[in-house]
Amino acid sequence: MDSNAPEVMKAHVALSVSNVDASIEFYTKMLGISPMKMRPGYAKFDVQNPPLNLSLNAGRISGKGTLSHLGLQVGSTDDVTAMRTRWSASGLQIRDEMQTECCYALQDKAWVQDPDGNEWEVFTVIADLEYSGAACCQPGQCEIPITIGPLNG
């Protein structure tokens, strides 16, 4: 690693949303914290775990790249279950994918969707896989046979 490279403090994700108030309600439930800053058409969440600067901006941007999904990786299935329980208690609709083959890994995960349809997963990697389906992170799309190997880190 370059010793002159700056230390990154946290990731930043800026989402264009159709309704800032509805998105604030969703992300307050999903993240378990309130926004640290709110202005007309804008909200900012300063998430400590994981380190994330999440901003919500009113409006849609057309002609740009497409967001597949967002996620929070945790250390164990117990952590997935704990997050799922918190989301459910907050009234969020949950979609479970336990023991699923995705992104060249066997994973346990749960999903929620924000008011604009952005998908968020909480997941843990159980094992690396030699093969993976062509349409990862889409329910029921990974159909290629797998070989389970040890985790790589």
> Percent of the chain beyond pLDDT 70?
76
**Are 19 and 43 members of one domain?**
yes
**Are 113 and 40 members of one domain?**
no
Round the average pLDDT of the chain to a whole number and report it: 81
- Counted domains in the chain: 2
146 sits in which H/E element: none
Q: Is residue 64 part of a domain?
A: no
CB-based burial of residue 110 (10 Å sphere; 0-12 exposed, 13-18 middle, 19+ buried)? buried
pLDDT beyond 80 at 118: yes
Pairing mode of beta strands 105-113, 52-58 = unpaired
Give the contacts of 50 (CB within 8 A, at least 6 positions apart): 10, 11, 72
Q: Is residue 35 part of a domain?
A: yes
Q: Is residue 105 part of a domain?
A: yes
Looking at residue 52, which CATH number applies to its domain? 3.10.180.10
**Are 107 and 129 members of one domain?**
yes
Q: What's the token pair of residue 138?
A: 């889409």
Q: Is residue 104 part of a domain?
A: yes
**Are 75 and 135 members of one domain?**
yes
pLDDT beyond 70 at 49: yes
> What's the rounded mean pLDDT across residues 88-98?
95
pLDDT digits (tens, 9 = 90+) for 15-39: 989 999 999 999 999 999 999 999 9
47 near 12, Cβ under 8 Å?
no
**Domain enclosing residue 14, as ranges:** 10-58
Q: Is residue 2 part of a domain?
A: no
Q: Is residue 3 part of a domain?
A: no
pLDDT beyond 90 at 59: no
